[in-house]
Amino acid sequence: MAPHPSQILDSALDAVGNTPLIRLDNIAAEEGLKCNLLAKVEFLSVGGSVKDRIAKAMVLAAEKEGKLIPGKSVVIEPTSGNTGIGLAVACAIKGYSLVITMPNKMSREKEALLRALGAQVVRTPDEEPWDSPKSHIGVAQRLQREIPHAVILDQYRNVNNPLAHEYTTGPEIIDAVVSTPASSSRPSSMQVDAFVAGAGTGGTITGVSRALKKAHNPECIVVGIDPIGSILALPNSLNETEPGPQPYVVEGIGYDFIPGVLSRDPADIDTWLKTNDEEAFKAVQRLMRKEGLLVGGSSGSALSGALTWFKTDQGRKFAQTEGMNVVVLLADGVRNYMSKEWFLDFALHSDKVQSDDTGLEA
């Protein structure tokens, strides 16, 4: 565990994780939920996302194993951006050079942050399949061959990715739930009854699931969220779409291959649901307007997936049972997406009251 925040921290790496679990009471009331709807708010980690945790864990483990040598190694990583930002924080502090390969689709904000932290960024075409030499993964592999002392920590296969969540994200959620007393106005089962998260590499959902099911509540239901157009959901029939590519705008979740760290065991991930951009961005808007949470697009996917799950046979009994604790993971913040159309559309153009017809004096 990182030191208590009231102490002086040794570096920004000690401000990774330890994020709050926050009630979504207003949305729960609107939905008629009797359970506690709780959000694990990861944009409050130092680099702004859930991926800070794995960046820190992978760098520390690689140093311990002698794979990363200060003053010598160059870190390269293919990423949708947030792992890159987490690595850039660690590399800035530790003095490593960092090269990030990232598909064009990912936001300019992420690229700007990466460059601001001192990383180099190479953009790659969105349409290249993962195993093409031109994809973000293919380009990272070529750069590794070309750059002396280059190391790819490889979030897609590195065991420290799910382990970071099994050791930190999961236990933090459990701690918060078991240390919050139940009361007559706030009933609680005193355990985590269900957990909902999107999957990119799948490290978050796999690691948190293991923490919850192994050490806490074997009956906990874990729900994976996958955008339409991606192939991570099980059973595979869920991934069947209309012919042709189905690009989605939400960043950080979904892939065209199954990452090695994503558990395929239905005992780890009980249920999968598919979501689309429209419902994800509407859910982001609700998280902002009803709960004051400045989250990114995949957080909207996770919430909209959770709300859909509450209407399924499996989810209904959780929705309607007082005291059940259902946790939704909100992976990053809107800082990463402030120039994106989906954000500006509702932030600037969806006001019920326009600034010029409020009747207020300037």
Three-state SS at 354? coil
300 lines the binding site for ligand PMP (CB under 6 A) = no
Which of residues 194 and 205 has its CB atom nearest to ligand PMP in the complex?
205
Among 101, 209, 230, 298, binds ligand PMP (CB under 6 A): 298
Cβ at position 350, least distance to ligand PMP in Å:
22
Residue 130's CB is within 10 A of a number of other CB atoms, namely 15
Scan residues 47-66 and list those touching ligand PMP (CB under 6 A): 49-51
Cβ at position 331, least distance to ligand PMP in Å:
3
Cβ at position 252, least distance to ligand PMP in Å:
2
Q: For residue 250, with 0-12 CB atoms within 10 Å meaning exposed, 13-18 middle and 19 or more buried, which class applies?
A: buried
Q: Considering all CA atoms of the chain, what is the largest pairwise distance in Å, rounded to the nearest integer?
A: 66
The H-assigned helical ranges of the chain are: 25-31, 52-64, 82-94, 108-116, 136-146, 160-164, 170-178, 203-215, 277-291, 297-309, 313-319, 341-349
d(CA 168, CA 204): 10
Which of residues 255 and 318 has its CB atom nearest to ligand PMP in the complex?
255
283 lines the binding site for ligand PMP (CB under 6 A) = no
d(CA 172, CA 190): 14
**Residue 173 tokens, joined:** 């959620």
CA distances (Å), origin 178, targets 100, 188, 249 = 39, 9, 37
Cβ at position 79, least distance to ligand PMP in Å:
7
Q: Considering CB under 6 A, how many residues would be counted as binding ligand PMP?
A: 19
Mark 83-122 with x for binding to ligand PMP (rule: CB under 6 A) and - for no binding: ----------------------------------------
Among 103, 202, 229, 333, binds ligand PMP (CB under 6 A): 202
| Nearest residue relative to ligand PMP (C-beta) | 252
Among 80, 101, 169, 230, binds ligand PMP (CB under 6 A): 80
Whether 51 sits among the annotated catalytic residues: the reply is yes
Among 73, 124, 169, 201, binds ligand PMP (CB under 6 A): 201
Cβ at position 336, least distance to ligand PMP in Å:
7
203 lines the binding site for ligand PMP (CB under 6 A) = yes
Among 28, 174, 331, 334, binds ligand PMP (CB under 6 A): 331
Question: Is the separation of the CB atoms in 227 and 274 below 8 Å?
Answer: yes
d(CA 289, CA 286): 5
Cβ at position 96, least distance to ligand PMP in Å:
21
**Residue 11 tokens, joined:** 């570096």
Q: For residue 43, with 0-12 CB atoms within 10 Å meaning exposed, 13-18 middle and 19 or more buried, which class applies?
A: buried
Residue 320's CB is within 10 A of a number of other CB atoms, namely 13
CA distances (Å), origin 280, targets 33, 109, 223, 225 = 19, 20, 16, 11
275 lines the binding site for ligand PMP (CB under 6 A) = no
**3: DSSP letter:** P
In this chain, which stretch among 18-26, 44-52, 119-127, 216-224 interacts with ligand PMP, using CB under 6 A?
44-52
Residues noted as catalytic: 51
The residues of the shown chain that bind ligand PMP, judged by CB under 6 A, are: 49-51, 80, 82, 198-204, 251-253, 296, 298, 331-332
